[in-house]
Amino acid sequence: MAQTQEKILILDFGSQYTQLIARRVRECRVYSEIVDSAMSVADIRREAPSGLILSGGPASVHGDGAPGCDPGIFELGIPILGICYGLQWITDHFGGRVQPSGSREYGQAVLRLVDPENPLLARLPEESRVWMSHADEVVEAAPGFDVIASSDRVPFAGVCDPKRRIWGVQFHPEVVHTKYGKRVIRNFTRTICGCKGRWSARAYVEVATEEIRAQVGEGKVILGLSGGVDSTVAAVLIHRAIGEQLTSVFVDNGVLRHEEAKRLLEVFRKHLDLNVKFVDAGEELLDQLAGIEEPEKKRKVIGHQFVEVFRRAASEIADARFLAQGTTYPDVIESSGIGKHADNIKSHHNVGGLPAELGFEALVEPLKMLFKDEVRALGKELGLPDEIVWRQPFPGPGLAVRILGEVTPERVATLQQADRVVIQEMKASGWYRKVWQSFAVLLPVQTVGVMGDGRTYENAAVLRIVQSSDGMTADWVPLPHKLLGRIATRITNEVKGINRVVYDITSKPPSTIEWE
Ligand code: XMP
């Protein structure tokens, strides 16, 4: 990102909520970046932040190898806010006392203002609901720090050293359960740090366009277009910056949704004016999948074939030096090692990407500092149709991970029809945008049914409709029974080969979202 704009750096101690802090700051229209808590003060100074936020984290300041920051941050002369572990580390550093809370405090608490005049607490009511999640707590504030808020169990729920301009809170203002949390973040970023709030999708288009031009110059760029919101927004943004220097490659691998390739091509070419190289590799892939039942093997075949097809298509574009991808900020954070203090390091297969051996000189990743909702806002700003902006995630291996056992052309056609019904009904009822994913799975398990006067012996379909914020965990959605009934009736009436529909009522964990 451009160094010129105002920004807040978030020094990460590994809290599961660190990404939320970054999002809340950006919701105040201030750009934020997450960096490792141990970043040197020289590096921090180079970023010229308007303020620092020290995140929470699972460690104890008394533990072996407890993480800390470069103490030089206190000489920078910019405001600092410590949250949970961040507060405890600051307190310990300046000679206050931190001790185990007895039992771990997790959940709601009532915050009471001790100093309502403090700018961090401006426009908060005397009492309000906050979210606590900590094992240690401050039992004696460090010299120079005043108490500005407390709760029943935590006397030092908020502290401030007005001279050094340091604040600390034991509760988590970044989570939605803290009623006035966003106001606290706004007070810190806008009032205390003095940020003007100029971060927006529109501003980002300008900055990103310049950066893309500076990076690629006259070079040619290739991008793998899937039709998902990330790759499409990346393509449109890059196209806006460098026009015909960008070629997008769109592959129909034969396991897309009903008429998806046709519809998407029309959007790409007619509405978005993209230069798209279309490769129809459907038959080729379905041939390779014949006889394969094992899920991991299916995935390998599909992944391998995609790389091959992409390599062929790319080799036909002379002098392409750059590969563009729609990588987003959560992918970057997860793979960068920031948050290495986190207790539960996540592994995630949703981080797509083409292998390095494709031989490109460099990657162009214009969304890599954006969260999903910011990518959507950018898509809207760039004039993408709602159909793309609000698309639910769709796995790279497509319907193949939603057909159990062997993937055959007949089974793909059957599932496409069932999937079409689910999407139509979810959209018509207004539920499509309210959930993370909604789809059908084909079970090659035949059961007896009756239709008209005859017996049937057909397959079952599962409806999988889940809510999630990032796909890492998910809850099944209690859809209205009427809607579930309508979907089931339509599938059994309209889709040949399915005579039974069941609803999946498991969450993730212990299940996964896809069935495979
Ligand atoms: P699971 O089934 O592991 O899925 O709970 C979590 C999320 O990831 C999506 N998914 C994929 N996305 N390539 C992708 O781009 C894949 O191979 C892939 N497999 C699963 C899934 O749809 C869900 O949103």
Q: Are 27 and 121 within one domain?
A: yes
Q: Among 105, 174, 334, 381, which one carries the catalytic annotation?
A: 174
- Identify whether 294 is a catalytic site residue: no
Q: Are 147 and 270 within one domain?
A: no
Residue 514 lies in a domain: no
Nearest-angstrom CA–CA distance, 392 and 380: 16
Q: Are 157 and 271 within one domain?
A: no
Q: Are 188 and 205 within one domain?
A: no
What is the extent of the structural domain holding 351?
201-389
Residue bearing the CA closest to ligand 1, atom 12: 395
Residue bearing the CA closest to ligand 1, atom 7: 471
Amino acid (one-letter) located at 513: I
User: What phi, psi does 501 have (nearest 5°)?
Assistant: -125, 130
Q: Are 119 and 76 within one domain?
A: yes
Residue 43 lies in a domain: yes
Query: Which CATH number fits the domain that encloses residue 441?
Result: 3.30.300.10
> Model confidence over 93-113: pLDDT tens digits?
999 999 998 777 889 999 999
How many whole angstroms from 402 Cα to the centroid of ligand 1?
11
Residue 398 lies in a domain: no
> Model confidence over 15-68: pLDDT tens digits?
989 999 999 999 999 999 999 999 999 999 999 999 999 999 999 999 999 999
Testing ligand 1's pocket by substitution, the residue of 306, 465, 514, 516 carrying the most ligand atoms inside 8 A of its CB is 514
Nearest-atom index, ligand 1, CA of 299: 17
The token duo for 173 is 């203002």
- What local confidence, expressed as pLDDT, does residue 341 receive? 57
Q: Are 215 and 324 within one domain?
A: yes
Nearest-angstrom CA–CA distance, 498 and 516: 18
Lowest pLDDT segment from 294-298, 335-339, 405-409, 431-435? 335-339
Nearest-angstrom CA–CA distance, 18 and 34: 8
Region 459-488: what's the mean pLDDT? 95
Determine what percent of the chain is predicted with pLDDT higher than 70: 95
- What local confidence, expressed as pLDDT, does residue 411 receive? 98
Amino acid (one-letter) located at 458: E
Q: Among 84, 160, 193, 195, which one carries the catalytic annotation?
A: 84
Q: How many domains does the chain have?
A: 3
How many whole angstroms from 464 Cα to the centroid of ligand 1?
13
Neighbours of 297 (CB within 10 A): 11
- What local confidence, expressed as pLDDT, does residue 354 receive? 67
Query: Which CATH number fits the domain that encloses residue 246?
Result: 3.40.50.620
Region 315-325: what's the mean pLDDT? 92
Nearest-atom index, ligand 1, CA of 472: 6
How many whole angstroms from 331 Cα to the centroid of ligand 1?
13
